[in-house]
Amino acid sequence: MASAYLIKPHLHRTYPIVQYGKGIYLYDTDGKKYIDGCSGAVTANLGHGVQEIINAMNKQAKKVAFVYRSQFTSEAAEALAEKLNKHISRHTHYWTFLVNSGSEATETAMKIAIQYWQEQGINGKNKILSRWLSYHGITLGALSMSGHPTRRVRFVPLLEEFPSVSPPYCYRCPYHCTYPSCRLRCADELEEAIIRIGAEHIAAFIAEPIVGAAGAAITPPDEYYKRIRNICDRHNILFIADEVMTGLGRTGKMFALEHWNVEADIVTLGKGLGAGYTPIAATLASERVMEPILYGSGVVMSGHTLSANPLSAATALAVLEFIEKHQLVQNANKIGGYLFEQLRSLQASFGWIGDIRGKGLLIGMEFVHPKTKEMIPSSLAFTDMVVTIAQKNGLLVYPSASGNGKDGAAIIIAPPLTMNQEEAAEFVDLLTRSFVEIDHDLPT
Ligand code: PLP
């Protein structure tokens, strides 16, 4: 059913109608079964129809679903913030600001960063540096920070020119060198940009610990974030980690920055926080960032009508309890390890699989020209073909980007963190079948 009422992502396509979901599977109204191999948009981290979450939602909805945050706080919102603080750091205390989407979380991070300097009487530190090949959200502030060319292009006149440095994209190193002999030239670019623009104009640097939508799980070399943290500290700018996609167990750690033993001043969460059961996201600000605001105006100048609503907060709290109880962070490591191994063995059979990267259950696969290993031009719509053939075979994978963000074909594989060994083998089987079909259709 393609109505003329609901605007869907592509107006000329027809979409299956979902009937229900159970675990890692989705079923449409024709009875077709799909493995949700990407948790929707890397969001349904617990899988579908989880009874504990439904019970928690029910219980909270019966008590009270909504209060306005200027009038009431709630036990659920308070408990959620406390739990997030418990997980994020052993060294410092973080405060949580609740919002409803990843875009709102990064916009809030941007505003808190600017406010942090203003509260100290330092005006003019208003820019947020970011990287080419990044995605921080669709609203204008978040898009200003994003280096996602196709999502920016129509709105460029309204956007700030925030993206300014190269990502740590070793597979296609912008400097044509290899780690470690490159000495992290891409990280040094941040320092050069700060010097060029002037630290007195810069509030913060924002980065996804592992680049998601714009880069299909681009994963930095080991020393990268230590260097970034150091550059930010030396030049007195804040470091914002956008963990909307990577946070809460997805990469095999609760927070992806833990892989490199680095802490950010501000951290954003979204997607997996509500795990698709409710729209909720969060901006976490460290004690250092909150202090001048606490002793200054006492007001974080952001917020939305539905911020911190008890129903969403209770749902997210149940999601975190579920992750703890079922040891999903450990499971992401275990199943992720198995999938990496299996996918790497597919590389030997299909010359157009160029790079496989990521951590835990956030896995990117970049496709290349099988002979020259060059980027696949977007005009060939290769990613679309992969996604469509997989979906026909009952497997959902997430279309991503690579290369320069315009050309370059890639997908993200990110099944629910609940996936078991048997389901992972079924996933590999369906993906292999889809790849055989693609291979068969390719011009020789
Ligand atoms: N930040 C990152 C890293 C994301 O991957 C996304 C969405 O894909 C966002 C922010 C924006 O989140 P939302 O789509 O919930 O607004």
Collapse the DSSP code of 413 into the 3-class scheme (helix H, G, I; strand E, B; otherwise coil) and give the result: strand
> pTM to 2 decimals?
0.98
> What integer pLDDT is reported at residue 444 of this predicted model?
65
- For residue 362, the CA-to-ligand 1 centroid distance in Å is 15
pLDDT tens column, 34-84:
999 999 999 999 999 999 999 999 999 999 999 999 999 999 999 999 999
Token pair listed for 221? 């070399």
Q: Which atom of ligand 1 approaches the CA of 270 most closely? A: 15
Q: Is the peptide bond before 180 cis (omega within 30 degrees of 0)?
A: yes
Buried b / exposed e over 316-339, threshold 16 CB at 10 Å, is: bbbbbebbeeeebbebbbbbbebb
pLDDT of residue 3: 77
pLDDT at 167: 95
User: Residue 441: exposed, middle, or buried by beta-carbon count in 10 A (0-12, 13-18, 19+)?
Assistant: exposed
CATH class of segment(s) 54-325 = alpha beta
Kindly list the domain boundaries of the chain, sorted by start residue: 18-50+327-441, 54-325
Q: pLDDT of 150-162, one tens digit each?
A: 889 999 999 998 8
> Is residue 245 very low, low, confident or very high in pLDDT (cuts 50, 70, 90)?
very high
Compute the average pLDDT of residues 201-225. 97
d(CA 213, CA 414): 12
Q: To the nearest whole percent, how much of the chain has pLDDT over 70?
A: 99
- Same fold flag, 18-50+327-441 and 54-325: no
User: Is 212 a pocket residue for ligand 1 (Cβ < 6 Å)?
Assistant: yes
What pLDDT, on a 0 to 100 scale, did the predictor assign at position 379?
83
pLDDT at 443 > cutoff 80: no
**Residue whose CA lies nearest to ligand 1 atom number 14:** 102
pLDDT score recorded for residue 150: 86
* Residue of higher predicted confidence among 442 and 146: 146
Task: Give yes or no for residue 228 having a pLDDT over 70.
Answer: yes
Q: Which of 138, 271, 284, 304 to mutate to test the pocket of ligand 1 (most atoms within 8 A of CB)?
A: 271
Cβ pair 225, 260 in contact under 8 A: yes
**Which CATH number, 3.50.50.60, 3.40.50.1860, 3.40.190.10, 3.90.1150.10, labels domain 18-50+327-441?**
3.90.1150.10
Provide the pLDDT for residue 2.
61
Contact 335, 24 (CB under 8 A): no
242 Cβ inside 6 Å of ligand 1: yes
The pLDDT, as a whole number, for residue 405 is 77
Block residue for tokens 């068969």: 440
